Amino acid sequence: MFLEALIAKCFLFYILNKIVIIYNIIIKILEMGICMTYEKEFNTFLNLLKTEDKEKSVLYALSLLENKKMDVEDLYKVLLAPSLMYFECDVDDLEICIWKEHHRTSIIRTILESSYQYIVKRKEEIKSIGKKVVVLTPAFEYHEIAAIMVSHFMLLQGFESSYIGANVPKNDIVSAIKTYQPDFIAFSVTNPYNIVVTKQVCDELKRYSPEVKIVLGGQAFKDQAALSSIQYDYVLDNFDDIKKFADEVKA
Ligand code: B12
């Protein structure tokens, strides 16, 4: 009797847990406006990604830009970012899931780099705001998709933006700052373990190049406590914040 009650309780807890997870995913997707405007495109893209057909996935995403069904900003916000953020593995074997995730990332990355030509095409309509930004991820941080997207969003907002890579050691950051003399340096940090290294770089920048304003973003800073030890000037949460940031710092 006791055992049956315990099993029933566990089952109920399991179901409730799943409902909460699904609810959170739906809310996040709703927040990003997917269900409203681009539901069909998102589902088509996701189904192609699930088949792991790189050729079809890349061509489909680029056709949306080519046929002006979406602009670069919406492609990133509505298709590319969510397809990684909400990646769900369809098998139980963790080993398989890892390379499946890597494969999907490689598809997204190809689309991301190919979309650059559409930013170049829009160059004439983009008004320069007279500010330079260097975008990167610090040493040990390999998650770079958001950083590349951020750099592209910055270009679209009129910044002169240079993405200098992932896993960039402190000395290379200092050297890039000396060479480019940017107004801003934007860090994308995903893994909370990399807060320590971010703090070290920010301390150094504040000591030797205080004129360069530091912008932080990424999953590592979702927890406010992570920011308490770091010297920074701006913290941004998502791509929409980049527009607000550009409006604020325009020359
Ligand atoms: C792809 C991926 C990888 C790839 C990255 C490849 C690449 N070239 O970038 C690889 C395979 C390398 C990888 C490795 C690892 N990963 Co990983 N990875 C992911 C995954 C699936 C997607 C990340 C991504 O690109 N998302 C898309 C971008 C657009 O979204 P985003 O980063 O959240 O960015 C948003 C905001 O944060 C913001 N933003 C981010 N940066 C900035 C900066 C500025 C200035 C602004 C304005 C905004 C902004 O804008 C975006 C839109 O809102 C996530 C899953 C997830 N749920 O996030 C796991 C995930 C991030 N990885 C995770 C882990 C644990 C790892 C590993 C430690 C695994 C391991 N044991 O080896 C390593 C760590 C490697 C390292 N040293 O960095 C965990 C992190 C958990 C945690 N919080 O600690 C996650 C969440 C998976 C999970 N559910 O456990 N990973």
Q: What is the pLDDT of residue 8?
A: 73
Q: How far is the CA of 144 from the centre of ligand 1 (A)?
A: 8
- Structural domain including 55 reads 2-123
The answer, yes or no, to whether residue 62 has pLDDT greater than 70, is: yes
Q: How far is the CA of 190 from the centre of ligand 1 (A)?
A: 5
- Please report the atom of ligand 1 found closest to the CA of residue 142: 78
Q: Given 55, 90, 123, which residue is the final one in a domain? A: 123
Instruction: Quote the CA–CA distance of 175 and 202 in Å, as a whole number.
Output: 14
Number of domains in the chain: 2
pLDDT, mean of residues 180-202: 97
pLDDT digits (tens, 9 = 90+) for 18-50: 765 665 566 566 555 554 689 999 999 999 999
Closest CA to 184 of 216, 230, 222, 227: 216
**In terms of domains, do 117 and 150 share one?**
no
The single residue listed with the structure tokens 């030797």 is: 208
CATH number at residue 200: 3.40.50.280
Residues 237 and 139 grouped into a single domain: yes
Kindly state whether residues 74 and 137 are assigned to the same domain.
Answer: no
Nearest CA residue ID for atom 22, ligand 1: 84
pTM of the model: 0.88
Per-residue pLDDT at 96: 78
- Mean pLDDT across the chain: 90
Name the residue of 115, 190, 233, 245 to mutate for ligand 1: max ligand atoms within 8 A of Cβ: 190
The answer to whether 143 and 188 are in contact (CB under 8 A) is yes
User: Could you say which of 64, 99, 123 is where a domain stops?
Assistant: 123
Half-sphere exposure of 132 toward its Cβ, with a 13 Å CA cutoff?
A: 12
CA atoms within 13 A on the CB side of 222: 7
Residues 73 and 27 in one domain: yes
Q: How far is the CA of 89 from the centre of ligand 1 (A)?
A: 16
